[in-house]
Amino acid sequence: AQSVTQPDIHITVSEGASLELRCNYSYGATPYLFWYVQSPGQGLQLLLKYFSGDTLVQGIKGFEAEFKRSQSSFNLRKPSVHWSDAAEYFCAVQPGGYQKVTFGTGTKLQVIP
């Protein structure tokens, strides 16, 4: 069964600083990979997804993620964080279409002025 690890439970960055959120997955093949963001009390919003092809994926709100097969990682990055980026971020994996999505435990991002 697939699993997802987000090693950082809580990250604090200064506004304007760069950000990297880590995600490692365990699965026999290359799964579909996703990053979602959740604001308090809200549902999930998809930031970006990777299925195949170019390993550097661009998403919304200035986020990007890089798939590294050798490291089984799919880290999320943003060059300059805004205060509005404070939220919880979830990495997720899916073996294939119509199959269940497994979420990581989430990383809570705090942005300080």
Partner 1 sequence: GAVVSQHPSRVICKSGTSVKIECRSLDFQATTMFWYRQFPKQSLMLMATSNEGSKATYEQGVEKDKFLINHASLTLSTLTVTSAHPEDSSFYICSADGTGVTYNEQFFGPGTRLTVL
d(C-alpha 106, C-alpha 111), whole Å: 16
Residue 18 CB, shortest distance to partner 1, in Å, is 25
If the CB atoms of residues 42 and 55 are measured against partner 1, the closer one turns out to be: 42
Binding to partner 1 by residue 27, rule CB under 8 A?
no
Q: State how far the alpha carbon of 13 is from the alpha carbons of 30, 83, 107, in Å.
A: 31, 10, 13
Binding to partner 1 by residue 104, rule CB under 8 A?
yes
The one among 43, 53, 54, 113 contacting partner 1 by CB under 8 A: 43
Binding to partner 1 by residue 31, rule CB under 8 A?
no
